[in-house]
Amino acid sequence: MRFVNDGGTLVCTGAGETLRIEAWGKDSLRVRATMFPALNEENWALTEPVQSADAEIEFLTEPWREGDGKIADYPYALIRNGRMSAKVNHAGVVSLFKDGKRILHEQHRSYDGLATRESHCQKTPSRQWIPYIAGDYKLIVRFEPNDGEKLFGMGGYQQPYMDMKGCALDLKQQNSQTTVPFALSSLGYGFLWNNPAVGKVTFGKNMTEWVSDATKQMDYWVTAADTPKEILKNYTDVTGRAPRMPSDAMGFWQCKLRYRTQEEVLSVARRYHKMGVKLDVIVIDFFHWTVQGDWKFDKTYWPDPKAMVDELHSMGIKVMVSVWPSVDRRSENFYEMAQRGLLMRTERGAMQTYDYQGDCVQIDPFNPETRKYVWEKCKQNYADYGIDYFWLDNSEPDLTKYDFDNFRYYAGPAMEVSNLYPQWYSRAYFDEMTKLGKPVVNLLRSGWAGSQKYGNVLWSGDVPSTWESLRDQLQIGLNMGIAGIPWWNTDIGGFMEGNVFDPEFKELLARWYEWAVFEPIMRLHGDREPFTIPQLDERERGGGYLHTGQPNEMWSYGEEMQGIMLKNYELRKSLQPYLEKIFAEASENGSPLMRAMFYEFPEDKTCWELSDQYMFGSDYLVAPVLEAGARERSVYLPAGSWQDIRTQEVACGPARVTAKAPIDSIPVFKRL
In the 3-class helix/strand/coil scheme, how is 410-479 assigned residue by residue?
A: CCEEHHHHHHHHHHHHHHHHHHHHHHCCCCCCEEECCCCCCHHHHCEEEECCCCECCHHHHHHHHHHHHH
Instruction: Using the predicted structure, report yes or no on whether residue 216 has a pLDDT greater than 50.
Output: yes
In tens, the pLDDT along 327-362 reads 999 999 999 999 999 999 999 999 999 999 999 999
Q: In the prediction, which pLDDT does 120 show?
A: 56
In tens, the pLDDT along 449-483 reads 999 999 999 999 999 999 999 999 999 999 999 99
In tens, the pLDDT along 365-407 reads 999 999 999 999 999 999 999 999 999 999 999 999 999 999 9
Task: Give the DSSP per-residue string, 604-636.
Answer: -GGGGG--S-EEETTTEEE----STT-SEEEEE
Which residues in 324-440 belong to E strands, given as ranges? Answer: 326-328, 345-346, 360-362, 389-392, 407-409, 412-413
Cα–Cα–Cα angle for 175, 180, 183, rounded to 5 degrees: 135
Residue 393 annotated as catalytic: yes
In tens, the pLDDT along 230-241 reads 999 999 999 999
Among residues 643, 521, 636, 638, the alpha carbon closest in space to that of 582 is found at: 521
In tens, the pLDDT along 59-85 reads 999 887 665 567 778 899 999 999 999
In tens, the pLDDT along 631-664 reads 999 999 999 999 999 999 999 999 999 999 999 9
Give phi and psi for 414, each to the nearest 5: -60, -35
Instruction: Using the predicted structure, report yes or no on whether residue 313 has a pLDDT greater than 50.
Output: yes
Mean pLDDT, the chain, whole residue set: 95
The one catalytic residue among 230, 462, 472, 527 = 462
Q: How confident is the model at residue 161 (pLDDT cuts 50, 70, 90)?
A: very high
Q: In the prediction, which pLDDT does 73 show?
A: 85
Residue 538 annotated as catalytic: no
Q: In the prediction, which pLDDT does 117 show?
A: 43
Instruction: Using the predicted structure, report yes or no on whether residue 281 has a pLDDT greater than 80.
Output: yes
Instruction: Using the predicted structure, report yes or no on whether residue 114 has a pLDDT greater than 50.
Output: no
Q: How confident is the model at residue 573 (pLDDT cuts 50, 70, 90)?
A: very high
Which tops the pLDDT comparison, 547 or 387?
387
The one catalytic residue among 106, 237, 393, 644 = 393
The one catalytic residue among 209, 396, 416, 519 = 396
- Domains of the chain: residue spans and CATH: 2-239 (2.60.40.1760), 247-324+368-398+413-591 (3.20.20.80), 596-671 (2.60.40.1180)
Q: In the prediction, which pLDDT does 512 show?
A: 98
**How far is the CA of 216 from the CAs of 34, 39, 539, in angstroms?**
6, 8, 48
Residue 359 annotated as catalytic: no
As a whole number of angstroms, the distance between CA 509 and CA 13 comes to 59
Question: Residue 634 carries which side chain, given as an amino acid letter?
Answer: S
Rounded to two decimals, the pTM is 0.96
Q: In the prediction, which pLDDT does 448 show?
A: 98
Q: In the prediction, which pLDDT does 119 show?
A: 43
Instruction: Using the predicted structure, report yes or no on whether residue 539 has a pLDDT greater than 90.
Output: no
For the segment 598-602, the average pLDDT, to the nearest whole number, is 98
